[in-house]
Amino acid sequence: MSAPLLVHLAQNLAVLELTEYTSENGKRRRLKDSGGTWLKVLMTICNFAQEPDRYCTAGWRALSKAAGTNHDISERWTSVFLELGWLVKRDAVRPEAGRRGKPANCYEVTLPGLPPKQLELMQPSPKPIAPVQSITEAQSKRAKRSGGAAALGQVVGSVVHQLHPEPLQHLQPVAEPVWSQECEAVMASARSVVLHKAIERHLSHPQQVIAVEQAAGSWTATYGKRTCPAEQVQSALAAGQCTDTQAVQYLASGLCHRTDLEKYLRGEN
């Protein structure tokens, strides 16, 4: 399961669904005007994809069953995603040693705007450092072997190796923001409110998940120079400037991207 892919899909759904593709009758259509099957198939592919390579090797049977479709529909939408560049076909994966079966199709998820893969950085092997000799000692040894010619090259080489920089260390991950228990409780309640609204709108289960994740993503996003909504809520709760109920209403309102908490409480939406 690739949670980062699912979250990225949820946060960018409003833009992705406006993408046009060529339908089976040769006409150009937007994805949002084509029902919800395409989203089910795409969500299932993202769910089956593994981190950090973002490869999906699920067979058509497993993919169709998880998406609630059939083989033809799954294959049709997969070809559309390949056409759009949202998927890239990779080399088929052969069965493990001792197992039978056909090679499995392999697709890499390449949705627009995806951040770089979190791959392990390889550290170069440290080079052996030659022992450092004093110039007098080096000259003496060289003189015994070659009749007195100074081996300054060996001495300089030893010094250069000694001054060789240390191998690069692993990059430290960026620390995630830490929310207070009160703020965490408010965000959990806001998630429930958003989910309830999605159910009232009779959205399918995948669409409900996307609606909740899309809303939650907006709470920690920064809009311009404004502090992210979650930080505003945390500060206001700590200072007693708003109640838990007001904070939940603000996060679940869908207005976080265009108004601050302070303006929301004053009714300036």
- Confidence at residue 148, expressed as pLDDT on a 0 to 100 scale: 43
Q: Which of 80, 109, 138 is the last residue of a domain?
A: 109
Q: Is residue 84 part of a domain?
A: yes
Q: Is residue 146 part of a domain?
A: no
Q: Could you give the residue ranges of the DSSP H alpha helices within 68-117?
A: 71-84
Q: Is residue 20 part of a domain?
A: yes
- Confidence at residue 203, expressed as pLDDT on a 0 to 100 scale: 79
> Is the domain of 193 the same as that of 101?
no
| Cα–Cα nearest to 5, from 89, 111, 84, 90 | 111
Distance CA 39, CA 84 (A): 14
Q: One-letter amino acid identity for 259? A: T
Q: Which of 89, 109, 129 is the last residue of a domain?
A: 109
Contact 216, 191 (CB under 8 A): yes
Distance CA 206, CA 155 (A): 68
The single-letter DSSP state of residue 7 is H
For residue 250, report the phi and psi dihedrals to the nearest 5 degrees.
-65, -50
Q: Is residue 103 part of a domain?
A: yes
| pTM confidence score | 0.47
- Confidence at residue 168, expressed as pLDDT on a 0 to 100 scale: 38
Q: Is residue 130 part of a domain?
A: no
| Residue 29: strand pairing partners | 21
Please, what are the averages of pLDDT over each run of 10 residues along the chain (269 residues)? 82 88 88 89 92 89 92 93 93 74 87 77 51 55 49 47 43 58 89 88 80 82 79 91 91 86 85
Q: Is residue 133 part of a domain?
A: no
> Is the domain of 9 the same as that of 105?
yes
- Confidence at residue 41, expressed as pLDDT on a 0 to 100 scale: 93
> Is the domain of 16 the same as that of 104?
yes
178 alpha-carbon distance from chain centroid: 19
> What's the total number of domains in the chain?
2
> Is the domain of 100 the same as that of 192?
no
Q: Is residue 122 part of a domain?
A: no
Domain that holds residue 255: 181-265
151 is written with which tokens?
A: 């081996």
> Is the domain of 8 the same as that of 105?
yes
Instruction: Assign residue 16 the CATH number of its domain.
Output: 1.10.10
Distance CA 93, CA 57 (A): 7
- Confidence at residue 163, expressed as pLDDT on a 0 to 100 scale: 44
Q: Which residues contact 164 (CB under 8 A, 6 or more apart)?
A: 127, 129
Distance CA 20, CA 152 (A): 69
Q: Which of 79, 109, 139 is the last residue of a domain?
A: 109
Q: Which residues contact 61 (CB under 8 A, 6 or more apart)?
A: 71
Q: Is residue 200 part of a domain?
A: yes
> Is the domain of 101 the same as that of 189?
no
- Confidence at residue 249, expressed as pLDDT on a 0 to 100 scale: 92
